[in-house]
Amino acid sequence: MTTLLQSFNARTGAPHPEALSASSSQDIDDSVRAAHQAFEVWGSSSGAQRAALLRALAEALEADRDALVPWADLETALGAVRLSGELDRTCFQLRRFADLAERGVPFETLDDPAVAGAPPVGHPAMVRQRVPLGPVAMFAASNFPFAFSVLGGDTASALAAGCPVVVKAHPGHPLLSRRVFGLIQQVLQAQGLPAGLVGMVQGAGVDVGVALIRHPLIAAGAFTGSTRGGAALQAEANARPRPIPFYGELGSINPVLALPKALAARGAELATTLAGSIALGCGQFCTNPGLIVLLDDPESDAFIEQLTRALAAQKPHPMLTAGMKSAFDAGVRQMMDQGALALLAAQGAAPAPGPHLLQVSAARFIERAALREEVFGPASLIVRAASQAELLAVLAAVGGSLTVTLWGADDDTPENQALVRAATAIAGRVLFSGVPTGVAVTAAQQHGGPWPASSAPMTTSVGDAALDRFLRPICLQDAPAWLLARHGVPC
């Protein structure tokens, strides 16, 4: 395995003087075995115990804000304001899952009393409840160093479900990850909980992640990142002698379909809003609007001019890593090689990329699969369609997306119904106003979608239902009174 791990200044590329050691095979095995031992305690913990831990973790993050935010900014260049807000969101997630655990959501049961008589009408007494899966391998994301990282939503929801977690920290912010992990260990010690309840491994290569997902005591995997990386880990999860569920939130191009009616009413306003969304966070959002679908229409022509001017005024900050900047440049070149015309190719101020806007016909977009690949960064591809049928064909060609945005589908018409059907067929979330960047942590949220947006489109990685990923249904038939008296809390 790789033996060294290096932190870099995201703005200058300068390495931090402290070299870190990557986790060895023994480190990984020790972390997983410690999580497995902790599961004996945590799997049968009460909602109150889980809530107390999650709230204490939120308090620890808030208390260390003045140190955590500068470390995060150094390693990601995302800016102190954005990162402080993300820390708030992370604490909100922790407390929300604490509330769910305290309310007994993980322990909800379905009572199906016995019915006298022969089958199929008659049946024994049955109770359906859920049990936690076991230790979860959690793969932290690069672009959200708090909210999708060591103490992010996957960790919070797994702990609320009764599952220990072993985090594979992202190599883009190793020093921040180490500090957050130190806070976790302090909280666990203060509450008298096993240190192995939350473990962490690190490494810049793929070997650490592969070893973690292969470990026979890991019961599930949760991942946020690229389609390529997620697909590789999912293959490993499926290839195990005993396959495990793998919940990957992967790549997405998040189409924004703008109809002439909406553009005629608010074209300039929508162009400004969309330009800000494309460049937000240097385009490093999983919900970044990478595809703009327009009809061939004078309103669309005017909108493209407005969007080009608005996007040219954006000044993205440096990308998270030099490797991501190289991948972004390669992705833009690939779109041009596939026939996309560059409408805007701003140079930016090194090492920050400039925003890019490209255009292609619907026919070419449908024909060339390479044009449908995610370009992670401040770029968007305009697809011009000649008809309603081509609009539908473009959405079908996307295949799977976290989001689809429909501007102008406000009236109940056969055409709009067809667009809504097409959007819901490929997306986990359909918007009718606003932009897709920004994912609310709430009860109705669905952050997932058909492949390649996610590996398990029936689940969400954001919102209350994220808890469900780490709970397995089980039926208790003719259970004794003492077991039913536990009200869904596992033994």
**What mean pLDDT do residues 199-222 have?**
96
**Class of the CATH domain delimited by 4-250+454-484:** alpha beta
Q: Are 358 and 381 in contact (CB under 8 A)?
A: yes
User: The tokens 């992705």 sit on which residue?
Assistant: 331
Helix (H, G, I), strand (E, B) or coil at 190: helix
User: The tokens 């002698």 sit on which residue?
Assistant: 241
For position 4, what pLDDT does the model report?
A: 78
pLDDT at 162 over 80: yes
For position 245, what pLDDT does the model report?
A: 98
Q: What secondary structure letter does DSSP report for 195?
A: G
The CA-CA-CA angle for residues 458, 442, 281, to 5°, reads 90
**425 — phi, psi (to 5°)?**
-70, -25
pLDDT at 2 over 60: no
Query: Is the model more confident about 134 or about 321?
Result: 134
Is residue 282 annotated as part of the catalytic site, yes or no?
no
For residue 216, give Cα distances in angstroms to 155, 213, 311: 20, 8, 49
Is residue 236 annotated as part of the catalytic site, yes or no?
no
pLDDT at 441 over 60: yes
Q: Are 258 and 300 in contact (CB under 8 A)?
A: yes
pLDDT at 31 over 80: yes
pLDDT band at 326 (very low <50, low <70, confident <90, very high): very high
Question: Of residues 91, 286, 299, 374, which has the active-site annotation?
Answer: 286
For position 3, what pLDDT does the model report?
A: 65
Locate the domains of the chain by residue range: 4-250+454-484, 255-431
Point out the least confidently predicted range of 10-19, 135-144, 177-186, 276-285: 10-19
**CA-based max dimension of the chain:** 78
Q: Give the tens place of pLDDT for each residue, 266-319.
A: 999 999 999 999 999 999 999 999 999 999 999 999 999 999 999 999 999 999
Q: Give the tens place of pLDDT for each residue, 120-150.
A: 999 999 999 999 999 999 999 999 999 999 9
Amino acid 170 reads H
- Number of other CB atoms surrounding residue 309 within 10 Å: 14
pLDDT at 252 over 90: yes
Strands (DSSP E) contained in 33-173 are 110-112, 126-132, 136-139, 165-168
Average per-residue pLDDT for the chain: 96
Closest CA to 187 of 136, 158, 151, 218: 151
For position 1, what pLDDT does the model report?
A: 44
pLDDT band at 428 (very low <50, low <70, confident <90, very high): very high
> Which residues lie closer than 8 Å to 181 by C-beta, 6 or more apart?
150, 167, 169, 198, 200
Pick the CATH number of 255-431 from 3.30.360.10, 3.40.309.10, 3.40.50.2300, 3.90.1300.10: 3.40.309.10
**What mean pLDDT do residues 26-37 have?**
98
